[in-house]
Amino acid sequence: MLIIDDKIVIAHMKKCGGTSVCKGLVETLPKARIDFLGYTPEGEERSAASRRRKGLWKHSPVQDIVDKTPLPRENLTIYLVSLRPWWDRVASFYFHAKRYHRKTGHKYPWVKDMAFSAFLRSPYIEEIECLDVFSGGPDGQPLADVYVPYSSLSTWYTTLATELGYPSVELPEYNRGRPKFADGYLECYNAADFELMAERFRGEDAMLERMGMSHPRPTPL
């Protein structure tokens, strides 16, 4: 989570490009203009400590940001970064866990011998938040002011940086070790896996439909 000039708040779920957005802005903007949890070693420590105290942390839901940020809500513009399809988020997290376990030998130990299909049926799938829970209010209404589509994340980032006084700054890419698939991550799923996840993220799909921002459902696998 990143706050800029006490008026811009960037919230993000896991595997949505939010870390690249926030880390890039943290490295660009003067420290006096920002407050953040995550993205640097010190920021990660602050995030973990605040989370232990039931406070805000790097991936705080929008309702928590509204409730726990001391800044007046009417002065804030909350951006949700970004609307990445759930089928990409889920698979991206799985490969992220695989990659880091190979690097560290101890982070995400559960993933060592776990196939993708088994991950979808394990408790670890709860790591991937549903948009309607993460950014919706008690009645399901969207709480963020701006929902940034994943497909236009780079363009949005450059526009925001320009508005903040840093023209022509591009969205950085920190993670170059991701597997490449011709059709996104869809080929990771068989039909049963995809339908299982479609049921899990049914509320997210319904919320996007109401907002007029739904992702085209992929053709049957």
Query: Would you list the domain boundaries of the chain?
Result: 2-211
pLDDT of residue 52: 97
The values of phi and psi at residue 2, to 5°, are: -130, 135
Distance CA 29, CA 165 (A): 9
Q: How far is CA 92 from CA 41, 74, 86, 125, 190, in A?
A: 23, 35, 10, 12, 16
The edge-to-edge listing of strands for the beta sheet with 8-11 is 34-36, 2-4, 8-11, 77-83, 146-149
Residue written as token pair 């990771």: 188
Q: Is the pLDDT of residue 221 over 70?
A: no
Give the C-alpha separation, 137 to 207, whole Å. 11
Q: Work out whether strand 8-11 and strand 2-4 pair parallel, antiparallel, or are unpaired.
A: antiparallel
Q: Residues 153, 22: contact at Cβ < 8 Å?
A: no
- Length of the chain in terms of residues written: 221
Across 175-198, average pLDDT: 80
Task: Decide which of 177 and 133 is more confident.
Answer: 133
Lowest-confidence range among 40-54, 96-110, 114-128, 169-183?
169-183
Position 196 scores a pLDDT of 97
Contact status, residue 22 vs residue 10, Cβ threshold 8 Å: yes
Do 1 and 81 touch, CB atoms closer than 8 A?
Answer: no
Mean pLDDT of 18-43: 97
- β-bridge pairing 34-36 and 8-11: unpaired
Residues 121-137 have a mean pLDDT of 97
Sign of CA dihedral 13, 108, 46, 19: negative
pLDDT surpassing 90 at residue 139: no
What 3-state class would DSSP assign to 114? coil
User: Does position 177 have pLDDT exceeding 60, yes or no?
Assistant: no
Mean pLDDT of 175-195: 78
For residue 59, the model assigns a pLDDT of 98
Residue 150 clears pLDDT 70, i.e. is over it: yes
Helix 202-211, helix 191-200: angle, nearest 10: 70
Q: At 185, phi and psi to the nearest 5?
A: -105, 10
pTM comes to 0.93
**CA pair distance 219, 208, nearest whole angstrom:** 18
Residue 180 clears pLDDT 80, i.e. is over it = no
